[in-house]
Each structure stands twice: as structure tokens, then as C-alpha cells.
Chain A
Amino acid sequence: MRPDPIGAPTRRRVLQAGGALAASAALPGFVQAQTSEPIRLGFQLHRTGIGAAYGRWYERAAKGALEIINAEGGINGRPVEILFEDDGTDPRRGAEVVEKFATQSNCDAVLGPLFSHVVVGTAPRAGELRIPYLVCSEGNHVASGMLNRWTLQPGITDVRSQVQSMAPWVLANLGKKVTMVFPDYAFGHDHRDSFTQAIADQGGEVIAQIAIPPTETSFTRYMPRIPRETEVLYHVMVGPAVLTFVKELGEFYGTGARPEIFGFIDSLEGVDINSPGLEFLDGSHFWEGHCRYLQAEPGAHEAAYRDAVGVDGNGASRADARDVSTYGHMFSPWETLFIIKAGMEASGYQSADDRQAFVEAIEAMTDMPYSIAHPQGPKVFNGRTHQVFGLQYITKVQNGRMDRVHTTSIEDGLYPDQVDYTTQPF
């Protein structure tokens, strides 16, 4: 090979110079690109495992809200995208998913799922990774103080508040001697502790507490433990076997004398109340976070919300009437997304460096009036406990649908703070 003449530009030098030129020209463009880059949110989702019905509908609700937010210009003028990742309704996988969001996908914040054991198992990791973790469960674990400053529950009222606000109505209208049936883990224990306390405060009595292992598939064997003098049977069940539970309850009592029945819609989320075997529920009452059936006087934003999520007046998918939604809970990811938008805009969120300012902006929130951002109803957020408080609905099963008979007030569900997260370091 012939050596290059001294001074003449070598191919390498030309390339170097060209590269430097290109890099310097691209620099302002790069800065530009960064600010118009999408806000990226991770959604830890129960796509498989026992929470799959919730996961499917949480995804649809989140996509519905996302479409509206992006159509209105995104967050701080930047488009928003959500990465959905399955946690298998498994706490260990839940923590891995959040780790992936934080370290590999560079997410700005993470939305958490429903099941409390996954949330409780994930929150410490989110705290270590210093990423905002906005959970859509309903356990008392956030407000109780057991989690950390990075974990918030701004989209749905917790169980303690739910049962406290409804206990007076149950006592006044259904009976004073209550037997509780609940799943034997954190979520069920929240119900057990809060409701037993609330009933005692109101002058009633919980005469039996029947804890059922979460993996149970048959329930008849538990039913003899329901005392004969029970006036109200309070049931809250979750997982794939809930339909079996209600069916077997029907077989057990049949057409004979039976107590009044008050259930949490969790027992039948994703299940058509007109399924064979559920006739037994006719005349019983449910707590609903959000009324599944379109009510006589719906709120101004009810129709737009149902349209965006793709749900008909019976709370089922418009594409498949047999695909019943988890209507009583799925407003939670929807509202949480709008709160993320509000929090990021209030804090002038630009990059992951602003995560702390974002959490502080949410902590500063208080009133959340009824709007398309809060289609379930108005709410009040408590920044110290990281927990939101809203209205609860009691519906009655009649004529093959569930009709609202009572709405609680926000004040009914307030309780003294159990923690002040704002005094904790980030």
C-alpha cells in the first residue's frame, strides 16, 4: 500500500471531521428531541394469574384515559405513553416488573395494580428505586403507614374508609348481628378489622368471622359456621372461585329462611349477575365503588367515560356482552392517570430528576371535583397519608340489575391520620 502524502487529508481524518460537524449540528436538535420525547409511564398489570379480569379492564380504562390526555396535548405539551407489563398477580414478579420499568425502560412513574399482596410486595422496591408508585388497589396499606413516601393511592378510597362509611347504613337497614366471610390475607384482614370496629362503634356486633384461604375452590364446608342468629351476612371474596362461592351459598340456604346479604362487588367483579346459580342474590345489597349498571340519573361525565372505556349500560364490553367489566374498581387507573397529569404539570416535570417534585405536587393536592378526570365522583386527597377519599355506593340487586339505593358522603369515610408521610425523607 502506498503511504499517504504528508498533509493530505486521510480518509480517517475526513470522517472524523465530518462526524464532529454532524455531532455539533445535531446537538441543539438532541436537546429539542429530549423535551418533546414522550412521558413514559409503566403499568404493572394483573394480565395473568388470579387477578386477570381486573388486569384486562384496568388496561382498557387506562388506554381510554390515555387517549383523552393525548388528544388534549399530553402532559406539559409532551405525548404520553404507557408500557403495560404483566405481574402474574405475583408479588415477586411485581417487584421485578417495577425494577424493569425504572432501570431498563426509563419510566417516569409507575401505576400499581389491585391485589394488595402484590402492592405490599412491590412498594419497598419502588421506594429503593426512588420512582413514584401510584397504586390502584384499595387496601389500607398506604394510609396505615406501612409503605413509603414514593407510594401513593390517589385514585380509589381504601377499604377502611369504604366500610366505615357504609357500616351505619348496614346497621340501620339490614340488621345488627353480622357474620363476615372474607379471604384470609391482607385485603380480607383490612375488611375484618375495619368493619368489626365500625360496626362496634355503631352499636352492632360481628358475631362470627370466617376467613377463607385464597386458594380455596369449594365453600360449602364453611357455611355451617355461619351462626343461625346471623342477621346480615357480609361477604367479600376475590379470585377465580367467587362465582362458586355465591352459587354454593344459594344451594345452602335455598328458598328457606336466610339472613340479609351484603356483599362487596369484589365478590362478583367481571361476573354477570344474571349467571345461572346467582338468582339467589336477588334482593341482596352490594357495595360498589362505581355503579356497574347505568343509573336513572347518571352523572354528566358517565356517558363519556363509558364510551372511552368501551362499556355498555350493563357494564359489559361493547364488543362482547359476556365480557363483564370490573366496573366497581377500574375508574381507579383512569383517575390516577389524570392525577399524574395534574401532578406533573403542577411541578413542571421534565425528567426523572423531577420525580421528587412530582410526588410533592401530588401531596399538595386536596379537592378533586367531579369531572371527566374523576368520573366516579368528587374526592378529597390527604397528602399526609397519601390516600384519597370519595363517595361509596350501595346498590340492590333487583330485576336482573343493580340499582343504587344509597350514596355515602366523603365525610362518612374520613378517619384520623395513621401516618404523616410528608415528614419522611425521600
Chain B
Amino acid sequence: MDFGPFLLLATMEGLVMAAVLALTASGLSLVFGVMRVVNVAHGEFFMLGAVLAWFVAEAAPGPPWLGFMAALAVAPLLVASVAALADTLILRRLNYEPEATIVATIGLLYILQQAALTFYGPDARPVVAPFDWRIQLPWFGWSGYKLFVIAAACAILTGLWLLLSRTRIGLVMRATQYDSETARAFGIDVDRVYAGVFALGAALAAVAAVLIVPIQQAHYLMGGDPLLLAFIVVIIGGLGSLRGTLVAALLIGLSDGIIGVFFSPTVAKIIATLFVAMVLILRPQGLFGRRPA
């Protein structure tokens, strides 16, 4: 294949990855930014979203697009309620102490993974894509659904940005992030904000998973990679910075796509990890993070 089309394919594949990564990582970043909780179970919320999407799509009657839309609506809500429950039952009781929450979310990781293994089983199962449209370029064909993934991720991220910057909910979240003691003094129910943020973070991972599950397949071990990549993105972008997360997701997604196509995916992973190390040494707060006072 010539260089031009090759680069085009690499960029398109990279954009799909960046889109999914941006959604997943923004959830992780949001939870850390507001709650200062490092959520190790984030990848399992991703997996749970995919698995629930399969259940919903199976149960929904009618054509595949209907099942998919139902999954897109229902699965993130279910995952969000699991996350809110986990926050109320576990994290709040630990007073959100950093070390304790890391251990607790590791436990949550195993509980969710084993629950999926028990109730969903060890098989990889596909959700049928909502539409079957193929783009035929002169050099190669590409799945039209992948374009939809990119567009949907952009729309959801725009919505998230509007929510955080233009609404009262966003204001309350930002106030809690800035200084939770003062926010409490001004009558903000910080506990509810925390539960809501944790649920929102998990729901973002779940949405990403529902979008990806017609391309990949739902499997109980699928949470590992997204967690690792989301951490890489969040560290590079700066923990808690949404803008940084988006830029880093684009960077990692595109570099993985392009380096993965031209050299090998292993090289792409090595470079991403190297980049994380450089950021940690030279700019520990991340590209867009604020240095703690």
C-alpha cells in the first residue's frame, strides 16, 4: 500500500482509539480531580458496560439498531448505579483516604471481574453493530460504524464539557474539587456530589465500552487494557485536568495508531510508556495539571 493511504488508515484507526480512550480517561480524571480517588476498578466499569450492553441488546426485541440504542441508554445507567452504590457502601466509609481507596478499588476490581465471569461466563460475545455501512475508499474499505464511534465520542465529550462549565451541577462539582470543606460550609451536600461524580466517571467508561463492543467483543477480561491506557493518558494530561486528558488521549491514540501501523503495536506501547516516564520526571503534574500548592 502507498504511503498516503497507509497514513490515512493509520490516522483513522488512531482516531477511533483516541475517541474511546478520551471517554474512558475523562471518567478516571474526573473522579480523581473531584474526589482525589485513584479508581483502580475503572477498567472493570468499562468491562461491565460492555457485558451489560450484550445483555440489553440480547433482551431487546426488534432490529439490531434498536437493541444497540437500548444498550447505549441502559448500560451506562446501570453501571452508574453500581458505582454510586460502591461509593456509598465502601468509599464513603473509608473517608476517601487515598491508600484505603486504592486497596478498596482493587478489591472492587476483582469482585466485578469475578461477578462477570460467574453471571456472563468466560466467552467473548459480540453486540451487532446498529448499522452495516462500509466506506469504500479507492485503496481500502473501512467500517462506517467506526466513524459513528468518533462522532458519538465527540458529542458526549462536548456534553460533558458543557455540563462542567455551564450548569449548576458543574459549578457544584468544581466548587467541591476546589475546596470541599468550604463547599460543605456553603451548604453543598458533598457526599451526594461524590456519589454523583463516581457514578458519572463509571458511566463514561461504560459509554466508551458500549460504543466499542460492536467492534471488539464483550469479555470478562477486557478491562485491563483500558485501565492501563487511561492511566497513561491521565498521567500525561495531568490528573484532574479534562483538557489535558483530551489532548493526551489524542496524542496516545494517534501515536498508537500510526506507530502501530508503521512499526508494531508493541513499539507503540513502549513509546507511550516511555513518554509517561519522561512526563513523570520532567513535569510530574502532567502537561496541563496544576502543581499542588
Residues of A whose CB lies within 8 Å of any CB of B are: 47-50, 52-53, 55, 213, 215-218, 220-224, 228, 240-241, 243-244, 248, 251-256, 270, 275-276
Closest chain-A Cβ to B57's Cβ sits at a distance in Å of 12
Say which residue of B6, B216, B219 sits within 8 Å of A218 (CB atoms). Answer: B216
Given contacts A224-B140, A251-B143, A254-B134, contact A53 B1 (CB under 8 A): no
Counting chain B CB atoms within 10 Å of each CB, which of A215, A220, A244 scores highest?
A: A220
Say which residue of B6, B9, B141, B265 sits within 8 Å of A254 (CB atoms). Answer: B141
A399–B144 CA distance with the chains assembled, in angstroms = 27
SS class of chain B's interface: helix, strand, loop or mixed?
Answer: mixed
* B160 interface contact, C-beta 8 A: no
CB pair A244–B132 under 8 Å, yes or no, is: no
Closest chain-A Cβ to B22's Cβ sits at a distance in Å of 16
Cβ-closest chain B residue relative to A47: B122
Cβ-closest chain A residue relative to B257: A221
Closest 3 CB pairs of A and B: A240-B124, A52-B122, A254-B141
Kindly state the interface size class of chain B when it binds its partner: 35 or more
* B13 interface contact, C-beta 8 A: yes
A222–B268 CA distance with the chains assembled, in angstroms = 13
SS class of chain A's interface: helix, strand, loop or mixed?
Answer: loop
- Cβ contacts B249-293/A at 8 Å (1 or 0 each): 000000001001100011000000000000000000000000000
CB pair A243–B217 under 8 Å, yes or no, is: yes
Cβ-closest chain A residue relative to B8: A224
- Cβ contacts B103-127/A at 8 Å (1 or 0 each): 0000000000000010001111010
Q: Can you give 22 A-B contacts (C-beta < 8 A)?
A: A48-B117, A49-B122, A52-B122, A52-B123, A55-B122, A215-B225, A217-B225, A220-B13, A220-B142, A221-B261, A240-B123, A240-B219, A241-B124, A244-B216, A251-B134, A251-B141, A252-B140, A256-B141, A275-B126, A276-B64, A276-B126, A276-B129
Contacts of B124 in A (CB 8 A): 240-241, 243
Closest chain-A Cβ to B127's Cβ sits at a distance in Å of 10
CB pair B122–A48 under 8 Å, yes or no, is: yes
CB pair B217–A53 under 8 Å, yes or no, is: no
- Cβ contacts B56-88/A at 8 Å (1 or 0 each): 000000001000000000000000000000000
Counting chain A CB atoms within 10 Å of each CB, which of B6, B122, B129, B261 scores highest?
A: B122
A252–B1 CA distance with the chains assembled, in angstroms = 12
Contacts of B132 in A (CB 8 A): 276
Closest chain-B Cβ to A10's Cβ sits at a distance in Å of 57
Closest chain-A Cβ to B143's Cβ sits at a distance in Å of 5
- Cβ contacts B135-149/A at 8 Å (1 or 0 each): 010001111000000
CB pair A221–B217 under 8 Å, yes or no, is: no
Q: A252-B142, A256-B141, A276-B126 are in contact. List 19 more A-B contacts (CB 8 A).
A: A47-B122, A48-B117, A49-B221, A52-B122, A218-B216, A220-B9, A224-B5, A228-B1, A240-B124, A241-B124, A243-B126, A243-B217, A244-B217, A251-B142, A251-B143, A252-B141, A253-B140, A275-B126, A276-B128
